Amino acid sequence: MSSFLPAVAQQLFRDIQKTYEETSQIPDDLLIALKFIFGPCVLQALDLVDQHSVTCLSSPSGRKAFQVMGGSGHLYTCFESCHYCPCPAFAYTVLRRNEGLLCKHILAIYLCQAMGVTQQESVSDQQMSVLLSGTAIPDT
């Protein structure tokens, strides 16, 4: 779990993980807690989870990155080692106005990890290097 999140949020994701493993559902009380902690982006993040929009890319060297297909069809790349998304909502709401902890894309990543439903894809170290440099992943 990310050290970027407050302890209460980290505990919430642990609770979601535990109950989801047992019931394959997120109970209403945990959904309400998500809404209370993360605000209006929760429903959009849950929609991204339902659409299987989160993919974890991993390379043989152990590096990981997440790609989230946004509702508009834009692909956002977020890295496991930092708390950042290149989407406009993150720049405006989180960085500029300091009105939220994260955007719907990062929340969807945390939810997918807690629920164990992240899509997995292996990429070569070369592909990961291209991804890390901010250019498109070439087809191989």
pTM: 0.88
3-state secondary structure of 133: coil
Q: pLDDT for 69-90, tens place per residue?
A: 988 899 999 976 788 899 999 9
Residues 6+ apart with CB under 8 A from 49: 108, 111, 112, 115, 117
- pLDDT value of position 140: 44
Give the tens place of pLDDT for each residue, 94-114.
Answer: 888 888 888 999 999 999 999
Residue 1 has pLDDT above 80, yes or no: no
Which residue has tokens 């509702």? 71
Could you read off the pLDDT of 107-136 as tens digits, one per residue? 999 999 999 999 999 999 999 988 888 755
Taking a C-beta distance cutoff of 8 angstroms, is the pair 111, 50 a contact?
no
Q: Please tell me what DSSP assigns to residue 62.
A: S
